[in-house]
Structure 1
Amino acid sequence: MTWNVWGRFGDRWLRRERAIARTVRAQRPDFVALQETWRSDGRTQARLLGFELGMTPVFAQSRMPTDPDPDVHLGLGILSRFPLRAIEQHKLSADTVALRAEVRVGVHSLHFITSCLDWEENHERERLAQAESLAALVSELRAHGDEVVVAGDLNTPPDGPELEPLFAVLADCWRAQRYDGATYSSRNPYLGHGEWLQDRRIDYILADDGLTSRGSRLVGFDEDHGCPPSHHYAVVADVPIT
């Protein structure tokens, strides 16, 4: 599962957080990738969610939109139902990182990675360079016989050239549905008007070809008393781990 959870933005972030927890619990995921998740006063949203959901949390600060509160820092989070063998941050650019959590699967490892690429419309080169760095990391991990899943907010639609390096090494777990698959949708009341990425699918779960997805879906539409818990919808993919 991957979800941009929109930090503490909006005037109902505490209520949104409760709805986020309920939504994740209902999906019963083995792994959750979080973007725009917060850290403040020695606490992290990932740790609070992990405690409530019985999952192991990790957090890493990365380049994100700036919270109005200077004491709140946004970044990446991972929740895991499995014990973590290793946790590492990998720099993709000056301020953007990928957060990697490793679990043991048989004689090899599974690496669950999340990141959030630059969101500005004129940052095509930056996104491409970040995607190339992420693809190089994936290739390095796979060279040891390990399996890799990348889940995150890549701020690029599927036909964007910035994602070509990642699509060259991993398969998109999305499966066509009746719904158009837009994770950043103008149907969402939190989305600003005229956003350059609106009504596009920009959140992904990518996996090794051998980890064929059995299906995927969007959640996070109306779990907050009829409102979405975030400005992005969440992506859930059923990927069998060997």
Structure 2
Amino acid sequence: MRVMTWNLWWRFGGWRERREAIARTLEAERPDVLGLQEVWGSADGTGPDGNLAGWLAERLGMHWTWSRSPVQDRWHKRNGGDTSVDVGVAVLSRHPLLETAERRLPAGDFRDDGKTALYASIDAPGGPLPFFTTHLNSGLGESAVRCAQLREVAAFIGERAHGAYPPVLTGDFNAEPDFDELRLIRGYQTAPAVRDLVLLDAWRFADPELPRGTWNMTPEEAVTFGRGPSCIDYILVGVPDASRRGMIRSARRAGHLPVDGVQPSDHAAVVAELSLGAGGA
């Protein structure tokens, strides 16, 4: 089973051209389950451009759900004050969605960007797959709030991760692999955020010779930040049981190449292949 996560860069850049490049990339990758961040949708749910997740789901023949950010001010200001389009996270699946839920994430004393985590129980071959996606605060000095947000995500997973597969958490964490927040949510380099919740980083199963940078993909960002791409996007998977269902088989980067000269996003996607377990691939 192929799972994927991708930050779609909201309505920045030439978004109509990028939308087509995103769709064509997904058509080529053919993920079974997909977590998306910075997904735009019209504020009233209508209009010719509707919701990007819904548009992609219709084109790809997938089921979908999305979580609108409850705080939109910063995004609207970055979009020239246009309040007609909102931002959120979404899940797409080739298999039916059995259940969905969302969780508001804390901001503490930091800027409140209205971050949420979105859960979908996927009716996957062999039984339900508990799938989560999220997008954390982005400030360079905001590791503390990202830790708090991931503690809430871990609690959410602990409440909802009941199925035939171990839980899968995807998203843009705005944190590199050695940051405190990643150590916390993985739960095997320090005490886990929720007792016994250990999540394996799919990047551990990637070819070490291949690049892993997922953000800073555009020339403008390379000039601003003065370095190559950072790894801040992840697929984390719970430890499989004896059936080996949900075991990570491989991981790689995707969506980092232009499509007919159009860069789909300022993020690359992450793709991981999971085992179907006994009797499956």
More divergent stretch after superposition (139-148 vs 50-59)? 139-148
**Aligned equivalents of 1:143, 1:197: Cα separation in 2:** 41
More divergent stretch after superposition (23-32 vs 162-171)? 162-171
Q: Which residue of 2 aligns with 1:74?
A: 87
Count of aligned pairs: 240
SS in 2 for 1:231: coil
Do the aligned partners of residues 198 and 36 (structure 1) sit closer, same or farther apart at CA in structure 2, a change above 3 Å counting?
Answer: farther
- Kindly provide the amino acid, as one letter, of the partner of residue 8 in structure 2: V
Do the aligned partners of residues 144 and 47 (structure 1) sit closer, same or farther apart at CA in structure 2, a change above 3 Å counting?
Answer: closer
TM-score of the two chains, using structure 2 as the length reference:
0.78
Q: 2:256 aligns with which of 217, 221, 225?
A: 221
Q: Is the 8 A contact 1:2 1:32 kept in 2?
A: yes
**Aligned equivalents of 1:189, 1:144: Cα separation in 2:** 43
**Aligned equivalents of 1:36, 1:198: Cα separation in 2:** 22
| 1:170 paired to 2:199 | yes
| 1:180 paired to 2:180 | no
Q: Is the 8 A contact 1:182 1:201 kept in 2?
A: yes
Q: Is the 8 A contact 2:130 2:163 kept in 1?
A: no
C-alpha distance after superposition, 1:94-120 (max 9, x if no partner): 522100011245785311100001001
**Aligned equivalents of 1:170, 1:196: Cα separation in 2:** 32
Q: Is the 8 A contact 2:36 2:89 kept in 1?
A: yes
Q: Is the 8 A contact 2:129 2:163 kept in 1?
A: no
Structure 2, gaps ≥5 residues long: 108-113, 188-197, 241-245
**Aligned equivalents of 2:100, 2:37: Cα separation in 1:** 17
Q: CA deviation at 1:208?
A: 1.3
Identity %: 35
The within-5 A match list for 1:128-207 is: 128-142=147-161, 147-168=166-187, 169-174=198-203, 175-185=206-216, 188-191=218-221, 193-195=223-225, 199-207=229-237
Q: CA deviation at 1:92?
A: 1.9
SS in 2 for 1:191: helix
C-alpha distance after superposition, 1:138-172 (max 9, x if no partner): 23334677621011101000000012221012000
